[in-house]
Structure 1
């Protein structure tokens, strides 16, 4: 571009007080945004010489904020090398900017009261009379200019924190300066005129020497006749707040205030605008009026607040503030003090009590309260004190009394719930909702006054160490650890009062043996040597049915166990007949749903759920079916009462104590949603307070527990075969038996060993035997895999790590895929094909617990040959033998990868056994001849090949009772 070519500048207002500037050279060539900055703003410091200006690249336009536009247009300084011609629109804007700048400097502006009360922070230009004729013509009829000027002032306010804070403080102190809803005139219920608004905002000085105040005077109860409440107008001297004047008919105002009588009258009329019920008041002497009880109550409760919000001072009786702070309460005082707590049995057992109503520091009996409520007064004077009877509170109490009257008492569950919430959250009620009783509990504060025995009982529920110790039953074939004895005592204590409970100990702490001890004690205590007591019912995952049967045989051989499982299980009358002599009925969650009608027809002594997280989804058919079953006592056994959501805890608690946490919708509204959105520590504490008496959880990391545990604890995980597994197993056995009699020597041995391998593969997973790869489904096809998944999930939830040994490489790959898919975390697999460098890296990754979460590995699968010796893997405190080597020495060597020097935690070893198969028979042989195991099975599996045909049939035969349903 050459020399002094002319730049033609143009622009327009674009809303919100902003302006645009664009340009083209005289020859018609558009000017870029960069050139505009250099030519027009090179000397404009407030915009940092144009750098801070926004631009529109496509058009080359620059955008100016309201104040920047005002400042620049008032005194544009352009480049000396550029000649500028302004468009007519910008020329007018420049003239307006000069006026605006002078107005800002000389204070010719004020807030627009009408706009502020409509929710718009707008400002008006106030030109002196001598400028109106000349400048007013330029500005009139151009709303864009008015918006520009107002926005420029707002921008200046926002750029000065002290000024902005002053306006915000004013708005907070005087809410009546702000927006008024056109539908409901709130908060003040009226609009101030311009003069009043500017005075209230402090923009203009108020010449009136007094402020109008309202005073409510209580009735003179000592006077003769009907006393009434009085509302008085009082004028307070602005210079001396101690000077108060009440206008009278003879002398309405002091002489020096007389000129402002209109202000006093206007304020009196405004009272009626704010409080419609006072519109027809008869003012005596112009400044005093009588109020009914209802009008006085409304004035205290709402009218006084409206007056305060409108900027008036209000004087109320001195007792009102204290009275309004006292939340009315309904108290249930337990009758008597001599009855023993043991007389109570059952969470729904009714307890007799007396009702008391506490209002404003006065305690009323039930009869007194109902008599006063019948008078329908909101304010009453009793025993030298004023009390308020809010209609909503009265209705809630009346409903509560009706409810309790129908039931003739409070249930023990209700007393406990109210007491716990009363301790944790003063003013809280039940979390119940959805029924008439729940409606009044939700809002009404109910306090329970406990007698000595009830207080002792609830104290024990909250402090388990106070629960009396119970000696283990003699029929129990096990030595219980200290914490296990405490667990059994707790279960029996809860049973004594019919309170459902959840034993939530960590995996490996012996929930199974604690329940067995509880069951033995309960049967001995209740049966008295007879067999007429209803049996207990234990529901568990199919994968652990066999484990329970084995543990019961081991620890409680005296108990009569009935297994409700398989296609031949009893139905209807047949089932009732079959369980007559049973102490415990075992069944699965799946069958509890399928056979719901048969199981629901029986009233059980106890129902226990193992792995109770299986009913975590409250609305599944399985969960609903289980919660419908009836029993005298309900127990949940789980190491993970909450896996992902708080609603899972509700589902378990709705099983053990139906209705205790209210409906799921109410529990979700009050607790789940707020807690899962933002933490809400107070709500978390409330939930803890509610559930603590019914949930006993001990963790392995507790030092007291660790002292009580052995360094290495071995358990068997017994699982049954699925129908698919059993069918495949039976086919392999039949093929072997059909051919083995015709074979000899090496050929016979090879056939037997091949069958052994096939059977072991089938026990692991059908996909391994069928050589399925890729996307083959694995769910519900192997009880062994299902059990492993559940156990690994639980230990990972507890922050533990594990080793999983298998002798089949393909099984290792399959387990890795399954675990990664199910748990969503990294899983390593070490086998013979892994190079040494990668092998060392895998070990280092597993051992290094300092790695970031996404880099760590808490699950390590190893083939028994490749990983059974020579490795130090002490980061694991769980060892799984997924399939057995049948050589204790080899298995112990593998276990010692974790149980060795450097291990700081107790190690739990889990050995899987498929029930009804050769795995169970060989495991029994090893257990019977542990001392000779090296001689018998020390050479691996070759000893099996030396068996006769009959011995092979006995070893391989599948016991039918362990086939799937």
Structure 2
């Protein structure tokens, strides 16, 4: 175990998991490039987890050093295994460049361990597994982590005053090798009976030309003769002994002494050697193959095919595709006779066209059978688009299929399919004119997104728009619907399903960006129970868009009988559980094209990915059972295990992030958006009662008494909009009682998934603690609080913690206490939970997060309860309606106390349609 007494306390303090996906991984990469270990992983032994938690608590370097050099656990979760492999690259380079002499690191000196080159780092980034924080992985971060391992090793050697060899031996005896044993295979063309030669060698030192010097392994018996050298000899031969435990053919060679002499080998013996390559390398033996064998393997025949040379006969997943196959060797087609010869023999190595060819007949025949079946289907006009895409991505979910089959086959896209996929995979090249009726300007990446959606829908294919929060998924969908409306002579309605808490948001965005779009909300907040139950296809035909909630869809099966142009799911993670009733109801919708909207990456959990794709493109990923078996087989693949799956789903997922260089240059520094919230029934009842009390009291109030009454009533209404407990003071802060609480949870869940930080401002001190409690339940750990009662001397400490500690996810502040004198640029999200109704005060609070030095865009969420005074005053401010000068104070704050009674009651009255109960 790496000692901890010599290090200062780091930033990582045994972080608790923030989401189920993180629990499954054990290790996550933060946006700033630090690795955080999550100890609550049932797949890791408690003792191993404790050691790793202690090491990573002191930084990424010590953690990776412990993981890669000391932990020899064979079965680690995929993410931990990948990071261990990365760390072991460092140890391997370090060990190979040291001599057999003891290597002591003295103060201010360090091992010279160059980081991998750019090409190798790029490969590592591209082949990283699906894991939390994978989107932040870059070559620079890997290079930095490499240096941190180096610094951690220096500190360990200085602290222990120990040489490198002894240190590595203490951590893991595998590293204590005095030399490396090499197994060498060469062609021996002059011997037709034994056309291969084998020799075992070992390396002892570098030559004058700085190349590894090889000696026959038998020489080691003489070099290390005598009792004094017995330990070195055993250390050298340890990998050979270890390899013999898994390679039965090697043990008699050792016992008979053949391993120490050059050997003549038949093709069968050479093939046996090739088949054991993985076990030999795992034991620590270096393999050297004939120089003309690329990638250390003989050439292999490959079953290749071209698919989609011409446009399909019809659109959609059941569109019919063309398919032509051949068997080739090094890119040249084999004749039927040569194919028959390859399949007829029994040897795994066959001499063909003057070169040795490796043949795995079972795999070759399996792939050929599948391709011939596809060719037959294409000839009959029965090869559909979904199967063609699976073939192209190398996805085979059949019982007999193996991941290794991909090494024996290749499918290329033909001209039409290649051009189509290239367009889908690179939507940045697409352009789209602003559709008629859109009141707003589409940014370039949004225009590309609209065109991408149009292209997929024109092909009758589903799409998952997974843009980061704040990038405008809503306006892209509205632009798509407006473009579709202008294109069609006859209206065909679309349906949008969203969480009940977001229905008000969609209504507000339609009013703002697409007022010409005829939309109808089918929900208890806008319609009576009778109107909902009697809603028919004829009713839907009068609208461009029908909006409903997941709960209403579940109770109104008539919606699944209508043929919609688009079926759109907002917050599509709502259908990630395929067994849920609302998931089955959503998947029962009939539509020409389906769209899923989500701000969280769909790659984090493979089962969730399947469920979303089962909605947008049913059948593309097969059924759930086959998909689970297929993804399990992918996990056993050593390099880029999920590459085929990524290739299959990539054309149908558009994921842009605010950190993308092509996006961030196109964004404003601050993105302000209204978060519309609906009232609960209890809030609506309290609000109506408050308005009635105000109306009755105004009949008798005059002068200063009237002014005080109005101000007190406005505060009461604000408190009710926040939460019933805020007004009643009964301590019952349940989430179901407040539409704002439910909306805050949804936003915070997205922020937590991105590992971002957020500020939450409230006008009221008594709201700070309940809001912090809610956010702690979302993030899985506590944040910070600041209000008027916080001692001034503590404020600087709180700000410093929020700025510097990555594990502090949120900061809740009362608006006056947090509005001045603070710089909180670590936050990329700002929430105004209740409104001050003075734009200058809110802007001042927002600018705590947006200041010089801010490196990321700030997303500002302004909470507004629909149908209340909050919505009406926001509209007055946003539209800059002309107010008489007596209604504006010198500070540009609305002075509502001078309104006449009728206007004031109209302003605060409740639109009963804001009540929502799903």
TM-score range, shorter chain: 0.5 to 0.7
Distance 1:767 1:491, change over 3 A: same
User: Is the Cα contact below 8 Å between 1:801 and 1:877 reproduced in 2?
Assistant: yes
Residue 649 (structure 2) pairs with residue 691 (structure 1): yes
User: Is the Cα contact below 8 Å between 1:539 and 1:587 reproduced in 2?
Assistant: yes
Selected match of 2:815 from 864, 871, 874:
864
Distance 1:325 1:588, change over 3 A: farther
Q: Distance in 1 between matches of 2:391 and 2:460?
A: 18
Selected match of 1:807 from 743, 763, 777:
763
Q: Deviations over 1:644-684 (max 9, x none)?
A: 63443343333322333344455555547976x9x966125
Distance 1:320 1:480, change over 3 A: closer
Following superposition, the deviation at residue 605 of structure 1 comes to 1.3
Following superposition, the deviation at residue 416 of structure 1 comes to 3.4
Q: Distance in 2 between matches of 1:172 and 1:631?
A: 60
Q: Distance in 1 between matches of 2:370 and 2:438?
A: 51
Give the match for residue 481 of structure 1: 443
Give the match for residue 917 of structure 2: 964
Q: Deviations over 1:422-454 (max 9, x none)?
A: xxxxxxx315357x9x89997795533443232
Gaps of 5+ in 1: 1-155, 180-185, 217-297, 310-318, 422-428
User: Is the Cα contact below 8 Å between 2:688 and 2:909 reproduced in 1?
Assistant: no
User: Is the Cα contact below 8 Å between 1:812 and 1:861 reproduced in 2?
Assistant: yes
Give the match for residue 652 of structure 1: 612
Q: Any idea what SS the aligned residue of 1:553 has?
A: helix
Q: Any idea what SS the aligned residue of 1:710 has?
A: coil
Give the match for residue 464 of structure 1: 427
In the TM superposition, 1:195-594 aligns within 5 A as: 329-334=302-307, 339=310, 341=311, 345-357=315-327, 390=361, 394=365, 397-398=368-369, 401-402=372-373, 405=376, 408-419=381-392, 421=393, 429-433=394-398, 446-467=409-430, 469-525=431-487, 527=488, 529-531=489-491, 533=492, 535-566=493-524, 568=528, 570-571=531-532, 574-594=535-555
Give the match for residue 613 of structure 1: 573
User: Is the Cα contact below 8 Å between 2:403 and 2:633 reproduced in 1?
Assistant: no
Q: Which moved more, 1:643-652 or 1:476-485?
A: 643-652
User: Is the Cα contact below 8 Å between 1:816 and 1:828 reproduced in 2?
Assistant: yes
Following superposition, the deviation at residue 819 of structure 1 comes to 0.6
Residue 787 (structure 2) pairs with residue 831 (structure 1): yes
Following superposition, the deviation at residue 583 of structure 1 comes to 1.0
Give the match for residue 914 of structure 1: 865
Distance 1:779 1:329, change over 3 A: farther
Q: Distance in 2 between matches of 1:600 and 1:157?
A: 83
Following superposition, the deviation at residue 882 of structure 1 comes to 1.1
Q: Distance in 1 between matches of 2:301 and 2:480?
A: 45
User: Is the Cα contact below 8 Å between 2:887 and 2:894 reproduced in 1?
Assistant: no
Following superposition, the deviation at residue 915 of structure 1 comes to 0.6
Distance 1:657 1:744, change over 3 A: same
Q: Distance in 2 between matches of 1:905 and 1:303?
A: 54
Following superposition, the deviation at residue 633 of structure 1 comes to 1.8
User: Is the Cα contact below 8 Å between 1:716 and 1:913 reproduced in 2?
Assistant: yes
User: Is the Cα contact below 8 Å between 2:397 and 2:630 reproduced in 1?
Assistant: no
User: Is the Cα contact below 8 Å between 1:887 and 1:934 reproduced in 2?
Assistant: no
The one of the two structures with greater contact order (alpha-carbon pairs below 8 A, sep at least 6) is 2
Q: Deviations over 1:503-556 (max 9, x none)?
A: 22222222211121122112322x1x322x2x2222222222111111111111
Q: Deviations over 1:223-246 (max 9, x none)?
A: xxxxxxxxxxxxxxxxxxxxxxxx
Give the match for residue 660 of structure 2: 702
Q: Which moved more, 1:583-592 or 1:666-675?
A: 666-675
Q: Deviations over 1:567-616 (max 9, x none)?
A: 62655662322211111111223333343x22322222112222223333
Selected match of 1:947 from 896, 900, 914:
900
Following superposition, the deviation at residue 864 of structure 1 comes to 2.2
User: Is the Cα contact below 8 Å between 2:313 and 2:319 reproduced in 1?
Assistant: no
Give the match for residue 73 of structure 1: none
Q: Any idea what SS the aligned residue of 2:595 has?
A: strand
Q: Distance in 2 between matches of 1:478 and 1:491?
A: 19
In the TM superposition, 1:24-173 aligns within 5 A as: 160-165=230-235, 168=238, 171=241
Q: Distance in 2 between matches of 1:933 and 1:880?
A: 31
Following superposition, the deviation at residue 696 of structure 1 comes to 2.3
User: Is the Cα contact below 8 Å between 1:502 and 1:635 reproduced in 2?
Assistant: yes
Q: Distance in 2 between matches of 1:452 and 1:433?
A: 28
User: Is the Cα contact below 8 Å between 2:779 and 2:809 reproduced in 1?
Assistant: no
Q: Distance in 2 between matches of 1:793 and 1:197?
A: 60
TM-score of the pair, normalised by structure 1: 0.60
User: Is the Cα contact below 8 Å between 1:612 and 1:641 reproduced in 2?
Assistant: no
Q: Which moved more, 1:735-744 or 1:776-785?
A: 735-744
Distance 1:736 1:321, change over 3 A: closer
Alpha-carbon RMSD across the aligned residues, in angstroms, is 4.7
Q: Deviations over 1:695-741 (max 9, x none)?
A: 22222233443332223332211121123322332333344445554
Distance 1:391 1:432, change over 3 A: closer
Q: Any idea what SS the aligned residue of 2:641 has?
A: helix
Distance 1:169 1:608, change over 3 A: closer
Give the match for residue 768 of structure 1: 726
Following superposition, the deviation at residue 390 of structure 1 comes to 3.9
Q: Distance in 2 between matches of 1:845 and 1:819?
A: 17
Q: Any idea what SS the aligned residue of 1:410 has?
A: coil
Following superposition, the deviation at residue 790 of structure 1 comes to 2.3
Q: Any idea what SS the aligned residue of 2:536 has?
A: helix
Q: Distance in 2 between matches of 1:346 and 1:692?
A: 17
Selected match of 1:791 from 733, 747, 763:
747
Q: Any idea what SS the aligned residue of 2:735 has?
A: coil
Residue 718 (structure 2) pairs with residue 718 (structure 1): no
Following superposition, the deviation at residue 889 of structure 1 comes to 3.0
Q: Deviations over 1:797-823 (max 9, x none)?
A: 445433322112221211011111221
Q: Distance in 2 between matches of 1:639 and 1:514?
A: 14
Q: Any idea what SS the aligned residue of 2:736 has?
A: coil
Gaps of 5+ in 2: 1-225, 280-291
Selected match of 2:738 from 782, 786, 811:
782
Distance 1:392 1:706, change over 3 A: closer
Residue 560 (structure 2) pairs with residue 600 (structure 1): yes
Q: Deviations over 1:328-373 (max 9, x none)?
A: 65444448x5x4x4866223311123344558998579xx79x979
User: Is the Cα contact below 8 Å between 2:678 and 2:914 reproduced in 1?
Assistant: no
Q: Any idea what SS the aligned residue of 1:632 has?
A: strand
Q: Distance in 2 between matches of 1:482 and 1:627?
A: 32
How many residues in Structure 1 have an aligned counterpart in Structure 2? 669
Q: Distance in 2 between matches of 1:841 and 1:792?
A: 24
Following superposition, the deviation at residue 378 of structure 1 comes to 7.4
Q: Deviations over 1:50-103 (max 9, x none)?
A: xxxxxxxxxxxxxxxxxxxxxxxxxxxxxxxxxxxxxxxxxxxxxxxxxxxxxx
Q: Any idea what SS the aligned residue of 1:683 has?
A: coil
Give the match for residue 845 of structure 2: 894
Distance 1:941 1:464, change over 3 A: closer
Give the match for residue 157 of structure 2: none
Residue 875 (structure 2) pairs with residue 924 (structure 1): yes
TM-score of the pair, normalised by structure 2: 0.63
Q: Distance in 2 between matches of 1:891 and 1:197?
A: 79
